Amino acid sequence: MVYMFHKEIAEEFGLAEATLFYHIAYWVRRNRKEQRNYHDGKYWTYNSAQELADGTHKFLSVYQIRRALHHLIDEGMLEVGRYNKKGYDRTYWYTLTPKAEDLLYLCEMDASYLQDASC
Protein backbone atom coordinates (compact mmCIF):
# COMPACT_ATOMS: atom_id res chain seq x y z
CA MET A 1 0.00 0.00 0.00
CA VAL A 2 1.21 3.50 -0.82
CA TYR A 3 0.75 6.25 1.76
CA MET A 4 0.51 9.88 0.80
CA PHE A 5 0.72 13.11 2.73
CA HIS A 6 1.51 16.75 2.18
CA LYS A 7 5.00 17.83 3.22
CA GLU A 8 3.74 21.12 4.66
CA ILE A 9 1.26 19.34 6.91
CA ALA A 10 3.92 16.88 8.08
CA GLU A 11 6.32 19.72 8.86
CA GLU A 12 3.72 21.67 10.81
CA PHE A 13 1.91 18.86 12.64
CA GLY A 14 4.00 15.66 12.38
CA LEU A 15 4.23 12.61 10.14
CA ALA A 16 1.54 10.54 11.88
CA GLU A 17 -0.81 13.52 11.74
CA ALA A 18 -0.06 14.09 8.05
CA THR A 19 -0.82 10.49 7.02
CA LEU A 20 -4.03 10.41 9.08
CA PHE A 21 -5.07 13.83 7.81
CA TYR A 22 -4.62 12.75 4.18
CA HIS A 23 -6.58 9.54 4.86
CA ILE A 24 -9.46 11.48 6.43
CA ALA A 25 -9.40 14.15 3.71
CA TYR A 26 -9.59 11.44 1.03
CA TRP A 27 -12.65 9.81 2.62
CA VAL A 28 -14.44 13.10 3.37
CA ARG A 29 -14.01 14.12 -0.26
CA ARG A 30 -15.09 10.72 -1.51
CA ASN A 31 -18.18 10.85 0.70
CA ARG A 32 -18.92 14.35 -0.63
CA LYS A 33 -18.63 13.09 -4.20
CA GLU A 34 -20.85 10.06 -3.47
CA GLN A 35 -23.28 12.09 -1.34
CA ARG A 36 -23.05 9.92 1.78
CA ASN A 37 -22.32 10.45 5.50
CA TYR A 38 -23.85 13.93 5.43
CA HIS A 39 -24.75 15.36 8.84
CA ASP A 40 -25.19 18.91 10.09
CA GLY A 41 -24.31 20.40 6.72
CA LYS A 42 -20.99 18.55 6.35
CA TYR A 43 -19.62 15.32 4.95
CA TRP A 44 -17.91 13.02 7.43
CA THR A 45 -15.87 9.85 7.65
CA TYR A 46 -15.55 7.53 10.61
CA ASN A 47 -13.12 5.02 12.02
CA SER A 48 -11.92 4.02 15.44
CA ALA A 49 -8.26 4.28 16.36
CA GLN A 50 -8.22 0.51 16.75
CA GLU A 51 -9.61 -0.03 13.24
CA LEU A 52 -7.00 2.32 11.80
CA ALA A 53 -4.20 0.55 13.69
CA ASP A 54 -5.44 -2.86 12.56
CA GLY A 55 -6.10 -1.77 8.98
CA THR A 56 -4.70 1.09 6.97
CA HIS A 57 -2.22 2.41 9.56
CA LYS A 58 -0.56 -0.74 10.89
CA PHE A 59 2.70 1.17 11.30
CA LEU A 60 1.13 3.27 14.09
CA SER A 61 -0.05 2.12 17.50
CA VAL A 62 -3.53 2.90 18.78
CA TYR A 63 -1.95 5.39 21.20
CA GLN A 64 -0.05 7.14 18.37
CA ILE A 65 -3.24 7.37 16.30
CA ARG A 66 -5.26 8.80 19.19
CA ARG A 67 -2.54 11.31 20.00
CA ALA A 68 -2.25 12.40 16.36
CA LEU A 69 -6.02 12.77 15.94
CA HIS A 70 -6.28 14.80 19.15
CA HIS A 71 -3.41 16.99 17.95
CA LEU A 72 -5.22 17.67 14.66
CA ILE A 73 -8.43 18.45 16.54
CA ASP A 74 -6.65 20.75 19.01
CA GLU A 75 -4.95 22.57 16.11
CA GLY A 76 -8.30 23.20 14.43
CA MET A 77 -7.70 20.87 11.48
CA LEU A 78 -10.41 18.30 12.25
CA GLU A 79 -13.87 18.49 13.68
CA VAL A 80 -15.21 15.50 15.56
CA GLY A 81 -18.77 14.25 15.93
CA ARG A 82 -20.79 11.15 16.70
CA TYR A 83 -23.48 10.09 14.27
CA ASN A 84 -23.67 6.39 15.07
CA LYS A 85 -26.97 4.59 14.72
CA LYS A 86 -26.52 2.59 17.91
CA GLY A 87 -26.21 4.40 21.22
CA TYR A 88 -23.47 2.12 22.53
CA ASP A 89 -21.27 2.74 19.47
CA ARG A 90 -18.60 5.26 20.51
CA THR A 91 -16.88 5.56 17.13
CA TYR A 92 -15.85 9.11 16.31
CA TRP A 93 -16.65 10.76 13.00
CA TYR A 94 -14.26 13.28 11.47
CA THR A 95 -14.51 16.09 8.96
CA LEU A 96 -12.19 18.83 7.79
CA THR A 97 -12.45 22.33 9.21
CA PRO A 98 -12.36 25.40 6.94
CA LYS A 99 -8.75 25.93 8.10
CA ALA A 100 -7.89 22.40 6.96
CA GLU A 101 -9.69 22.83 3.62
CA ASP A 102 -7.72 26.04 2.99
CA LEU A 103 -4.38 24.42 3.85
CA LEU A 104 -5.20 21.38 1.73
CA TYR A 105 -6.10 23.63 -1.21
CA LEU A 106 -2.78 25.51 -0.89
CA CYS A 107 -0.82 22.25 -0.69
CA GLU A 108 -2.56 20.93 -3.78
CA MET A 109 -1.92 24.18 -5.65
CA ASP A 110 1.79 23.87 -4.82
CA ALA A 111 1.78 20.25 -5.99
CA SER A 112 0.10 21.09 -9.30
CA TYR A 113 2.59 23.92 -9.86
CA LEU A 114 5.48 21.50 -9.37
CA GLN A 115 3.93 18.96 -11.74
CA ASP A 116 3.51 21.61 -14.45
CA ALA A 117 7.01 23.03 -14.03
CA SER A 118 9.55 22.05 -16.65
CA CYS A 119 13.04 21.13 -15.53
**H/E element holding 96?**
strand 93-96
pLDDT of the residue at 111: 57
pLDDT in tens, 76-98: 999 999 999 898 888 999 999 99
Please name every residue paired with 3 in a beta bridge, in sequence order, or none if there are none: none
Measured between alpha carbons, how far is 63 from 68 in angstroms, rounded to an integer? 9
Kind and range of the H or E run holding 111: helix 98-116
Q: Tens digit of pLDDT for each residue in 16-62? A: 999 999 999 999 999 999 999 999 999 999 999 999 999 999 999 99
* Domain locations in the chain as residue ranges: 7-111
Phi/psi for 117 (5° steps) reads -70, 140
Instruction: Say if domain 7-111 classifies as CATH 1.10.10.10.
Output: yes
